Amino acid sequence: MPLRSQAVLEPRKSPVQARSAATVDAILEAAIQVLLQVGKERLTTTNVARRAGVSVGTLYQYFPNKSAMLKAVLERHMDEVTEAIERVCGEQRGNGLEQMASALMTAFLGAKMRDAKASVALYAVSADIDGAKIVQERGMKSNRAVVAMLKTAEAPLTTDPQLVAAMLQGVMTGVSRRLLESTAPEKEFEPMLRELIFLACTYLNACTVRPVAV
Amino acid sequence: MPLRSQAVLEPRKSPVQARSAATVDAILEAAIQVLLQVGKERLTTTNVARRAGVSVGTLYQYFPNKSAMLKAVLERHMDEVTEAIERVCGEQRGNGLEQMASALMTAFLGAKMRDAKASVALYAVSADIDGAKIVQERGMKSNRAVVAMLKTAEAPLTTDPQLVAAMLQGVMTGVSRRLLESTAPEKEFEPMLRELIFLACTYLNACTVRPVAV
DNA sequence: TGTTTAGATGAAACAAGCTTCAGTTTAGGA
DNA sequence: TCCTAAACTGAAGCTTGTTTCATCTAAACA
């Protein structure tokens, strides 16, 4: 989204295109803040607009309805996590399985913890709207990345990479969710991550040894 | 809730207490059915009452509000799963770790799959109401059961059982959720369960070998 | 058979937030 | 400087579903 070119002697900022882009951004940001401060129940469109410094009408200029706005918020958050996964999966190509496991778990938990509060709040939002669909889409994206990575491992797996990747993701999300919704996420983070890596390494190694059958 | 004692020659059934108990049950049952048929969004109190064959007023005689009713539904479901876990954990005391892992995973996935549809629908409901609290409570209950079981294993763990139990639960719930929300749960059930058991066995065995340190 | 009270009824009051839209402001170009 | 289109405004309409309550029914008991 490049800024519109400015007339000869007009140093004025943020013209047409950019103005609205900024507004959309402000709204999305405000939505998360409102969510964190007053919770899903009291998150109203009027509320979000006010926090964003605009009027409700403006909000409805960019989103057809409340649900669409929340979807955008969720998508934004999921993209961050997905990108984090894709990044490490790219970096880890050709490495050993333990390397991969460690990097993947660290990246995932890290991304989730980065703004743990928002993550938890969004779990709730995801239930309204068809959040499951969004989550699933991103899930498939990261799945592909994980599978691709696994196929380049030094020691080849003797198990269907698709299945292995699915398990890894189930494990990651399950443990991270448990962690995030626990009473003291920060405190348990370190040991949980360690253990998660241990578990993943153990599993992956076992998958190189195991007979091919089934 | 014992039935009210009946007068000498009055074989008449379902007196005062029981009549209402039946009503409550009908309402709870209706709630799930409505949930499955029209989804969370269109689940209204009037709706549920009609399906239960009573009037809204009656519903409000047993539940202070909609949220309380939904909580009761969720609690009921969670109790089933928790009981399934406690049962196997009791049965498996003193057995080998692989035995335990296998039984636990089978019981959990089985309980969730028994009415998979309801499970998924309740994920959504749980987000409204303070479902997290309910889920967490039951989670702690099963946690205790798992820990107690692990402590009786033939081969002793060299890792904190609390941590191990937490991981197992994270793994179970993560994978099962992934499975339930996938497009074809029944189809993937068998291989997923197999793999889940394999993963759990691998992990638990590793936990008996691993040096005690941290 | 009459009385009492648990249980049931459902129309309507009420609440609350989403969404609209007619009108105003601002930026960029001529 | 004026004009046009893009942005923005916010009071009020509208929809929808929750909850209440005055009233009715029927079981238990004497």
Q: How far apart are CA B80 and CA A137, in angstroms?
A: 31
Rounded to the nearest angstrom, the minimum Cα separation between A125 and chain B is: 8
Sort out which chain B residues have CB atoms less than 8 A from A124's CB and list them: 127-128
Q: Which stretches of A28-139 are assigned E, i.e. beta strand?
A: none
Length of chain B: 214
pLDDT tens by residue, B91-112: 999 999 999 999 999 999 999 9
**Nucleotide with the nearest C1' to B5 CA:** D28
d(CA A35, CA A164): 35
Distance CA A142, CA A145 (A): 5
What does the pLDDT read at residue A20? 82
Tell me the chain A residues in contact with residue B172 when contact means C-beta distances shorter than 8 Å: 174
B129 contact to strand D (CB, 7 A limit): no
- Residue A6 pLDDT: 27
Contact criterion met (CB below 8 Å) for A17 and A1: yes
Q: Return the SS3 of A185.
A: helix
Cα A137 to Cα A143: distance, rounded to the nearest angstrom: 10
Query: Sign of torsion, CA B57 B63 B64 B68?
Result: negative
What is residue B7's predicted lDDT score, i.e. its pLDDT? 28
Angle at A69 between CA A63 and CA A71, to 5 degrees: 130
Q: What is the pTM of this model?
A: 0.87
Which pLDDT score, from 0 to 100, does residue A18 have? 73
Give the list of residues 6+ apart from residue A13 with CB closer than 8 angstroms, or none: A3
Q: Which residues of chain B have pLDDT under 70?
A: 1-17, 212-214
Which pLDDT does position A28 carry in this prediction?
97
Round to a whole number and report the distance in Å from the CA of B44 to the C1' of D24. Answer: 25
Give phi and psi for A152, each to the nearest 5: -95, 5
pLDDT grade, residue A200 (50/70/90)?
very high
